[in-house]
Amino acid sequence: MSDVSKIHSLNIPTNKNLDSFQQQLPDASDTVPVIDLSHPDAPKLMNNAFQTWGVFQLVNHGIPVSLLNSIQSFIQDLFDLPTSQKLKIVRSRESIAGFGLVPLSQVYPKRPWGEGFTLIGNPVDHLQKLWPEDCKKYCDLAEEYLKEMKNLCGKVMWLTLGELGITPEDINWAGSDGEFKTSNQALRMNSYPVCPEPDESIGLPPHSDSSVLTVLYQTTKGLQVLIEGKGWVTVEPVKDALVVQVGDMLHILTNGLYSPSVHQAVVNQTHDRMSTAFFFGTPKNTEVSPLKKLVTPTRPLMYPTVTWADYLSKKYELFEETLPSIRLSAPPPGLSNVNDQNQVKVG
Ligand SMILES: C=C1C[C@]23C[C@@]1(O)CC[C@H]2[C@@]12CCC[C@@](C)(C(=O)O1)[C@H]2[C@@H]3C(=O)O
Ligand SMILES: O=C(O)CCC(=O)C(=O)O
Ligand SMILES: [Fe+2]
């Protein structure tokens, strides 16, 4: 077997075939791709969508619809709690966990409109404070949701990265079984009531998530993504679909090949809205570097080695300047992402 065919049989991209992975077809459509996970072309379509859009909507994802409905009722119950109860678990200066505004809302010029609750670590620790007598049903539900979301993220990771020739041996924090047992996770539930002045207000300001992947569930419109050449595009809710977005860590891991999804939540005068975002992240203190197979002469190393913990603390100071601030080389021409072109300014 020649060296070239050996490499091909290992499914490792050479510089030549990596370039072909990067050849993005111009996407004339104005809507975020909707991909059926059960379709044989799903890996190719997801890989393409991550490169061009940084986001897609996933249907036939295997998450039971009953679980999605239950999580909606959970959010309703959560935000219906009396303020005295919510105050027991308010975000502190040191941590983002609990009820409260995200740091970005404090520096963004529009009025923050809505409430959020962030769950980090063991759900029982938080939820017991909110429902001391009735915690089990909420804790079981949160645990089930986290488990299902994590499995889905693992699946999406291997299907998409597999298209680039990446295998479990390439990602040390995936573990020998490739199940990402040590990954980090967080859940944020958002509630945006009807807003009398939507133009002066914002549900969540423009940002990319620091995660590897974010899986968002929404039933009412309000999520918008910033796409180069298109501007803000509304992610129209599709029944039972999940919105899968590239986070900063996956952008770094793929050496800039996948575009981080810059998004915002807008509010409106007629409908209230709820959303649940699951953040799938790397282990807190594990060093993450761009995958060697995705560093080539035409795509030189774009980012240094980072840990999620360090990256997050930087992000709370620099917000959307964080990625450009650590970048080692410019994105190759034609592959620049919206972060560089259409810088989202805060403050
Ligand atoms: C896993 C996480 C990502 C996040 C910080 C967090 O620890 C939990 C909340 C997440 C969130 C949600 C709203 C926007 C954001 C920028 C924020 O301030 O809190 C993200 C964080 C992030 O992705 O950087
Ligand atoms: O509510 C939404 O649609 C967006 C939520 C979000 O971006 C987040 O929680 O990070
Ligand atoms: Fe987000």
Ligand 1 centre and the CA of 95: distance in Å?
Answer: 11
Evaluate whether 325 touches 304 at the Cβ level (below 8 Å). Answer: no
Residue whose Cα lies nearest atom 6 of ligand 2: it is 277
pLDDT in tens, 206-234: 999 999 999 999 999 999 999 999 999 99
Strands 55-59 and 242-246: antiparallel
Ligand 1 centre and the CA of 262: distance in Å?
Answer: 13
Q: Residue 277 CA: which ligand 1 atom is closest? A: 12
pLDDT in tens, 118-165: 999 999 989 999 999 889 999 999 999 999 999 999 999 999 999 999
Just list the catalytic residues. Answer: 273
Report the 10 Å Cβ neighbour count for 75: 17
Structure letter (DSSP) for residue 28: -
Ligand 2 centre and the CA of 333: distance in Å?
Answer: 30
Q: Is ligand 1 within 6 A of the CB of residue 119? A: no
Q: How far is CA 22 from CA 7, 45, 197, 258, in A?
A: 18, 13, 43, 10
34-326 carries CATH number 2.60.120.330: yes
Q: Residue 222 CA: which ligand 2 atom is closest? A: 3
Strands 201-202 and 111-112: parallel
Q: Is ligand 2 within 6 A of the CB of residue 322? A: no
Q: Is ligand 1 within 6 A of the CB of residue 315? A: yes
Parse the chain into domains and list their residue ranges: 34-326
Q: Which two tokens stand for residue 126?
A: 């938080």
pLDDT at 13: 32
Q: How far is CA 230 from CA 30, 105, 245, in A?
A: 7, 25, 17
pLDDT at 93: 80
Q: Is ligand 2 within 6 A of the CB of residue 126? A: no
Q: Is the pLDDT of residue 189 over 80?
A: yes
Ligand 3 centre and the CA of 4: distance in Å?
Answer: 42
Q: Which two tokens stand for residue 87?
A: 């105050």
- Percent of residues, the chain, with pLDDT higher than 70: 88
Q: Is ligand 2 within 6 A of the CB of residue 204? A: yes
- Confidence category of residue 183, pLDDT binned at 50, 70, 90: very high
Cite the DSSP H helix spans in the chain. Answer: 3-9, 15-22, 42-52, 65-80, 83-86, 123-130, 135-162, 248-253, 308-318, 322-326, 338-341
Q: Is ligand 1 within 6 A of the CB of residue 184? A: no
Residue whose Cα lies nearest atom 13 of ligand 1: it is 102
- Confidence category of residue 289, pLDDT binned at 50, 70, 90: very high
pLDDT at 27: 64
Considering every ligand atom, which ligand is closest to the CA of 308? 1
- Judged by average pLDDT, the poorest of 9-18, 100-109, 248-257 is 9-18
Q: Residue 188 CA: which ligand 2 atom is closest? A: 9
